[in-house]
A and B are shown apart, each in its own frame.
Chain A
Amino acid sequence: DAGVTQSPTHLIKTRGQQVTLRCSPKSGHDTVSWYQQALGQGPQFIFQYYEEEERQRGNFPDRFSGHQFPNYSSELNVNALLLGDSALYLCASSGGGTQIYEQYFGPGTRLTVT
């Protein structure tokens, strides 16, 4: 049973560039959430996708956008990168029923903005 997978593992970008991160949820899960974890801090919720729509959003600017595909996989896009966007980006998936309350996380994508 494959868990949550994310790609790429590491990424280095320059200020002002755009980046796309990818996530495949755990088998049987239909909801994907994205979190940003700065060094030494707890993860911060960015947004959540269900049925290809964003249904919750955290306190992040519009430079952060996402998409969910019919196969439930998801992308996180960040435009006009800032140095402060350097972080570990975590994807989490969850299923239906009471499983919605148990989010399973992927290994993350470490983004470095120079």
Chain B
Amino acid sequence: AQKVTQAQTEISVVEKEDVTLDCVYETRDTTYYLFWYKQPPSGELVFLIRRNSFDEQNEISGRYSWNFQKSTSSFNFTITASQVVDSAVYFCALSRPKSGGYNKLIFGAGTRLAVHP
């Protein structure tokens, strides 16, 4: 069975602090994809990143960085120098590509991040 666990329900930080959101996943597949989505109060899920299981290279995009470690089944997300606009619910998700190239996303419960000025 596939499962995504985001143990941190809520995180509160002060602006400019660094913050790491944890994600642990379970799957028996050797090939899979991991994702992070941001959900602001408006409700729309915003795609942040997709990572293939065979690519463990960490990625940095501006203030965002992702640390993928297959040995611990983790895909953590760090925001450097957080800003108030980063306040949102963040979801980690897993998908298993089926033949034909289609998939469904399995989401964690989400981590609510509040960044205070």
Interface residues of B in 87-116 (CB under 8 A from A): 91, 93, 95, 97-98, 100-110
Interface mask (B31-50 → A, CB under 8 Å = 1, otherwise 0): 00100010000111111001
Bound complex: CA of A35 vs CA of B44, how far in Å?
A: 12
- Interchain nearest-CB distance for B62 vs A (Å): 19
Interface footprint category on B? 20 to 34
B109 touches A42 (CB 8 A): yes
Which residues of A lie under 8 Å from residue B102 when comparing CB positions? Answer: 31, 48, 50, 55-56, 100
Using CB atoms, name the residue of chain A closest to B100. A55
A103 touches B91 (CB 8 A): no
Which residues of A lie under 8 Å from residue B46 when comparing CB positions? Answer: 105
Which residues of A lie under 8 Å from residue B97 when comparing CB positions? Answer: 101
- Interchain nearest-CB distance for A30 vs B (Å): 11
Bound complex: CA of A48 vs CA of B102, how far in Å?
A: 9
B109 touches A107 (CB 8 A): no
B43 touches A48 (CB 8 A): no
Can you spell out 19 A-B residue pairs with CB atoms less than 8 angstroms apart? A33-B104, A35-B105, A41-B109, A41-B110, A42-B91, A42-B108, A43-B105, A43-B107, A50-B102, A58-B104, A88-B43, A90-B45, A97-B101, A100-B102, A101-B95, A101-B97, A102-B47, A103-B105, A105-B45
